Amino acid sequence: MKNPNLVEEFEKEQIRTRKPDFFQNLRVFESLYKEAMHLGIFPLKDPLDGIDADINLARALNVRRPPRKNCRRS
């Protein structure tokens, strides 16, 4: 991709101009839920099973670092 910034701006503009479609979003949600049930993921036997791993992962991913000074991007 020669100009990723141009593509990113195009995608942002598409998101800004497109109105949310409630019924399409509902169909996507229902399809994902049915697939999860088919795979045996839902219903959960213990909803809090593995919550500690989820919390640790969230903490690791949400670390905010100050920006580096004098960093040049090519």
User: 């640790």: which residue's tokens?
Assistant: 56
The 8-class DSSP code of residue 46 comes to: S
Q: Where are the alpha helices (DSSP H) in the chain?
A: 4-17, 22-38, 51-61
Predicted structure pTM score: 0.45
pLDDT 10s digits, 20-62: 899 999 999 999 999 999 998 887 888 888 899 999 999 988 8
Q: Kindly indicate the confidence band of residue 74, based on its pLDDT and cuts at 50, 70 and 90.
A: low
